Amino acid sequence: MILTRILTCTALALTLAACGGSPSKPNAEASKILPTIGSSGGARSNIQAKKLFGAKADGSRQSSAAYGSYSKGCVAGAQQLAETGPTWQAMRLSRNRNWGHPEMIDYIKTLSAKAAQQPGWEGLYVGDISQPRGGPMLTGHASHQMGLDADFWMLPPKSLSLSRAQRESISSISMRRASGAYVNSSWTRQHHQVLKAAASDPRVARIFVFPGAKVQMCADEKGDRSWLRKIRPWYGHHYHFHVRLSCPKGATGCVNQDPPPAGDGCADARQWQANILNPPPPNPNAPKRKPKRELLLADLPAQCQSVLDSN
Q: Select the CATH number that applies to the domain covering 4-280+292-309 from these four: 1.20.1250.20, 3.40.630.30, 3.30.1380.10, 3.90.550.40.
A: 3.30.1380.10
C-alpha dist (Å) from residue 235 to 142, 190, 265, 272:
14, 22, 16, 10
Question: Running DSSP on this structure, what letter comes out for residue 152?
Answer: E
pTM recorded for the entire structure: 0.89
Q: Over the stretch 45-72, which tens digit does the pLDDT of each residue have?
A: 999 999 999 999 999 999 999 999 999 9
Question: What confidence score (pLDDT) does residue 34 get?
Answer: 83
> Contact, 204 vs 243, CB < 8 A?
yes
Instruction: Report pLDDT digits (tens) over 112-163.
Output: 999 999 999 999 999 999 999 999 999 999 999 999 999 999 999 999 999 9
Minimal CA–CA distance to 238: which of 179, 182, 175? Answer: 175
Is residue 31 within 8 A of residue 6, CB to CB? The reply is yes
* Residues, the chain: 311
Provide the residue ranges of all domains of the chain, joining segments of one domain with +.
Answer: 4-280+292-309
The amino acid at 68: G
Quick one: which of 244, 195, 245, 198 has its CA closest to 215? 195
Question: What is the chain's alpha carbon radius of gyration, rounded to the nearest angstrom?
Answer: 19
Inter-residue contact 50 to 97 (CB < 8 Å): no
Distances in Å between the Cα of 44 and the Cα atoms of 41, 50, 66 are 6, 12, 22
Kindly report which listed range (10-24, 43-57, 241-255) carries the lowest average pLDDT score.
Answer: 10-24
Under a CB-based contact definition with an 8 Å cutoff, are residues 133 and 78 in contact? Answer: yes
Q: What is the mean pLDDT of the chain?
A: 91
